[in-house]
Structure 1
């Protein structure tokens, strides 16, 4: 198994934490290549070797590296690339740390730490079975501290603002032809948390809704989440206080149409959390 330890890190803006990459129960490992992705607007990776060119992470013991083929961090693209081969004289340990790195929190929200590429080879250059992988997550809360990244540069990400109450009267929404789920922003939410909930990205939500920036979200606002719904091309998740009438008005449709699409009887009863088809 390939995992990040700890798998979940909670930080305040400006704080740092050490994350280790662990590989368990590996046999005949001679070479390993990892690509780990992260959200550059929310975290950055600190340089483990300031004397070397570029940003690097720390080597581990699984395997003990004889040759570092690639050790690079691109904080602009949100990518770690680590590729090493085993020292010939090193013992063939089955478990241990592959590498470690320090994450710094930049903005309120968070970032997944995802294994995008995993390649393991034996001494003959033959691929080994790719182990199960457990990705990581960095959860960030707002703080009074100002990030101080290595090298003296001060990042300027736009933090996703916590949702603030909107007017009681919802703004009518014209259903898009795009596939997705309509979701009403709740108090205290931001785009990162919504994207994480639905398994998409902040940038995808921004693009789907033509938002001016990542902070343009407020409680009561309806967003199109660009994910494939289980049924229908456009759906909506019922929120507290919703009625069939208010949803029909919000999406510029009729009560009769919603009832027919979703098998709602004449009582027009719906439940919070229920998914309704808006456009079939």
Structure 2
């Protein structure tokens, strides 16, 4: 083992265990993300000055919206994992694998599609403005991303590539070589940095132009995830594609121009009268 390798802290993936009932850190991460997002979304909806004259969900609407989004994230994330190349081989070997959410295995891109469908359905059935609802969801999404990446680190999964940096770690399932703690890199980029970007956008009137914040989130996540993939070890069943691209990069890089186009389109809209 290299001199500078840091042993993995070996945190028990199970946070609380009482008899046959076991609560994992992975589940608590999702709960923390939803609770934190729910709390912040209610505060944002209660401040009409942030929205200018744009129609937006009321604070009470967030109670229903969080339920719709929770189902969308969990169903979309799990289906995305087992149907896309990430977990298709496991699904072929054991069809019940699709239902074992508690064992981990979620696709962000599948969760993003699931959440988008949930927001679309919520806006349609509850008669709420679509783009403002998307903006609201995107402002709070980095909270869940942060806790999710921390849970990946606790589980010792999605570790990084072999590295010789002083903070490299030896992960229990990653062999004897020290590796980048890429989960912590992604928690910082996709969670902290992206969250600060969302707050800055809100502070400077982003919510007054429906779709602007959503566009910045999509582009920001695409950039953060693509950069993080440089340090992350690709899933064993996928490996590298042409020009050392990973599946994460292939799915995330198109988000950058798509998000920027949406942000530019929203920025050119006329402001609604306050």
TM interval, shorter chain, is under 0.3
Greater relative CO (CA pairs within 8 A, separation 6+): 2
TM-score, with length taken from structure 2: 0.27
- Answer 1 or 2: which has greater helix percent: 2
- Answer 1 or 2: which has greater strand percent: 1
